[in-house]
Amino acid sequence: MKFGLMYETQSPLVDGEVDEKALIENTIEQWVLADELGYDYIWLVEHHFLDTFSVSSSPDILYGAASRLTKNIRLGFGVVVLPQHHPVRIAEKIAMVDQLSNGRVDFGTGRGGAYEQVGLNVDPRLSRSMWEEAINMIPKMWEKGEFSWEGKHWNIPPRNVIPKPFQKPHPPMWLAGMQPETYRIAAEKGLGVLSLSTGAPAEMAPYIKEYKNNIRNANPVGNFVNDQWAHLAISHCGVDDKLAKDTAVNALKSFFGPDRPYTMGEGDIYKQLIKAWGGVPDHLRNQFKWVLKEEESVTDSIEVTETSVKPSGIDHFDSETLSDRGVIIAGDPDSCIKGVKIHQEAGEDQVLLLMQLDTIPHEEVISSIKTFGTEVMPEFKSD
């Protein structure tokens, strides 16, 4: 079992605002500590315009700094939103960070959500085909010599895209997903899965099993298959079992809260698009379903869109239930060990621990990272 720290890049507000300078410095401090403690991965999102939710519009720049301050921890792009960038620029930036870090990059990809896409002048209806074209292109740019391409969205004359990655033939590649269809696409293309919902591991186990079976027949877009599955869990580890679990649940509810400034704007964008398009294309129905007010039941899972999270019954479960089901990995070290085992038994290769949240002060995040790293991880690390 591998351990990654997932970052939206959040902090408690100061007078209703994010102290961006302090947040950036605190984030890097947490990464340096995680590296010293032997965590396997950092995963950093790419988001734009998500006021009070995420200060992470340039993950490659943050990772450029981290690459010089850490030694062993892998730097996961979780994810690069391919439709929002020219593929050549993506290939260049990923390769540069891989060179700076001596080959510690993992390259996660995704399509993004409508609120951010519209802000960047990307048509959400084209995001799937743009992702598809870019993911097929980028690994070829990392090969020796010139690259050229004629496609639906991009045409590139013969050019040598430099630098090339430090890792040969290229960094491991991943796809972020929250729907069964995405897991199938990842298996077909030989991509690892970054499962960014907070569904209970028992719910995810059948999808993991299907993915592991299907990826044996992959036609990889890169030069090798990455068959790893990583799954998200909000996490807080402390000495007081109940307090740590309650801290994680409060963070969970805030994370999914409807009162963030961008959440209201996002709803307006989705409704405007539906009106302008005269409906929703079939391939976007999952992303738009909460706007369409499709019927949802209270289950063990939490429904999400690409950029926001829609709770499905969070308030119906107490902290013990959420912990027992592995939705959170929280509590004292013994409880966290039990939580990791729930994820391990579901067939996951890595847990993505979301510890830095806007309800938890930096000092408490540091304490949680330290306690988890010293008291929990050794139980899962072979000698």
pLDDT value at residue 379? 97
Question: Residues near 227 by Cβ (< 8 Å), separated by ≥ 6?
Answer: 190, 192, 212, 215
- Higher local confidence (pLDDT), 341 or 281: 341
pLDDT score recorded for residue 285? 73
Mean per-residue pLDDT, 187-208: 96
Q: How far apart are CA 127 and CA 82, in angstroms?
A: 8
Return the percentage of the chain with pLDDT > 70, whole number.
87
Range with the lowest mean pLDDT among 39-43, 259-263, 306-310?
306-310
- CA 204, 207, 213: angle at the middle one, nearest 5? 140
160's CB contacts (< 8 A; 6+ apart) are 145, 146, 147
When mean pLDDT is compared over 224-233, 282-291, 302-311, the highest value belongs to 224-233
* Per-residue pLDDT at 220 exceeds 60: yes
The pLDDT value recorded for residue 280 is 72
Is it the case that residue 116 has pLDDT exceeding 80?
yes
Secondary-structure class of domain 2-380 per CATH: alpha beta
Mean pLDDT across the chain: 90
pLDDT of residue 239: 97
Per-residue pLDDT reduced to its tens digit, 38-87: 999 999 999 999 888 899 999 999 999 999 999 999 999 999 999 999 99
Burial of 295 (0-12, 13-18, 19+ CB in 10 A): exposed
Rounded to an integer, the average pLDDT of 96-105 is 99
Of the two residues 302 and 355, the one the predictor is more confident about is 355
The amino acid occupying position 366 is: I
Least confident of 58-67, 207-216, 237-246, 309-318: 309-318
Rounded CA separation 239/303 (Å): 31
pLDDT for position 265: 60
pLDDT at 300 over 60: no
- Angle (deg, nearest 10), helices 333-345 and 241-255: 50
